[in-house]
Chain A
């Protein structure tokens, strides 16, 4: 990967990488840590990307893998009160409220929610990224919607 290509990829996709990690960890510091690891992997990678969508999906997959590695696995449950975590600043209270509501969801709901409603991945694509059945992804999205007071509508 050339310096030019890497810089363009970082400018375009760093926020996506960071947001996926933030949905995973909830903690901005850990999300930054993960994002830096992902971008380093990109810089050191020999992968030839067919197009920008290929690169975007590669980054999403690597981000999820890095988050999983950093977490070591989902088998040690560690709960911290949400109010003790730093949060981004928002231009209005409604968006802050949405953020807090989303971050209060269990982790297994937050990431599919972000990939579906923000990055626009399909259920089957999310299943591939997270190594879950499409039906499991559907269930998690439905449960996430059920838990959120904010209504997430289709389309």
Chain B
């Protein structure tokens, strides 16, 4: 075995905190042993949201329907019509297409927030049928012995996505997160794909006017219950279109005001960038914020002490938007990075998975183990 590879992974260990958590499991009743560490959304893994293919295919999904289904999946409640109206306000029809190898890719529409943009793509033309996909996967020995599950649909992904905005949204040394999600199959066999783009440490709002160029290549298709795909000929597909400036929707800002304790977000660990997360013993340090600004597509925490942000990771925990009807929307913990703002300030940004009607929001909450912090809205 390769010595260097082994020596590298020899140095990787579970943290002492995890070790203790695991060893403490024996002190709990087996049946009642509950997890103390909340499950965190993935930020670097491949996840899926498989939609009920047949029904969705008949409905010819658009971006409104996509967000409706997302809202129900996240909150367990139907989406309110006012919220759909907000989504309409944040969306632009595009209708630009490119064709290669018999396959046509169309940018159907775009929905935007300050720090996030969703593209709804339609992929149609000479695509392999479901039967052909299954046959190719079976030949490659990739189909499970009992075949694909009955609710699995055909799915597609692009291996490479190049996106550029003019004016640029990315500053020097900034990256972005890009997600591709299956958004259903139309009755005519066209695939719908939702692409979500979030600049990290971006230097301008995505609501501003911009020219967008998108180059897609490496189209793959498969059956969504099987994690192997087959390549589809064609590409690259190059698309160019313009987005008009959009008026920012109303937002709410919660400042740490007089008479109120500074916005304290207790940190359970004190760690330094470049060092192991397994600091033992863990130290407590509080991070004060100046204000939290909540928008329909996410929220931003502006930190009071930029120096702390050079030493500490953002506070652990999950953030929720609690609605007046009791439903809850969990924020994407994408905000594990710090944005540099003018004047040396630092902020962390979080995203809602669905644009939200803030007039129906009751509070913003942070939860970490037994800790609860609530910031009332409206």
Contact = CB atoms under 8 A, between A and B. Distances in A.
| A contact residues, range | 35 or more
Contacts of A85: 43-44
A22 B18 CA distance: 14
B131 to A, nearest CB: 20
Secondary structure of the B contact surface, majority rule: loop
Interface residues of B, number: 64
Contacts of A81: 175-177, 200
A99 interface: yes
A98 interface: yes
B298 interface: no
A152 B5 contact: yes
B9 A19 contact: yes
A73 B48 contact: yes
A150 B6 CA distance: 12
Contacts of B47: 70-74, 76, 78
B277 A86 contact: yes
Contacts of A44: 30-31, 33
Contacts of A95: 4, 7-8, 11
Given A10-B22, A15-B13, A39-B25, A25 B177 contact: no
A124 interface: no
Contacts of A146: none
Contacts of A18: 12-14, 18
B325 interface: no
A71 B11 contact: no
Contacts of B5: 98, 102, 113, 117-118, 150, 152
Q: Which 7 A-B pairs have the closest CB atoms?
A: A81-B175, A73-B48, A75-B48, A18-B14, A133-B141, A74-B227, A74-B46
Interface of B: 1-2, 4-9, 11-15, 18-19, 21-23, 25-26, 30-31, 33, 35, 37, 39-40, 42-50, 140-142, 144, 155, 157, 175-182, 200, 222, 224-225, 227-228, 274-277, 313, 316, 336-337
Given A29-B277, A79-B44, A117-B5, 8 more contacts: A26-B44, A35-B14, A71-B48, A77-B46, A79-B177, A117-B2, A131-B144, A150-B4
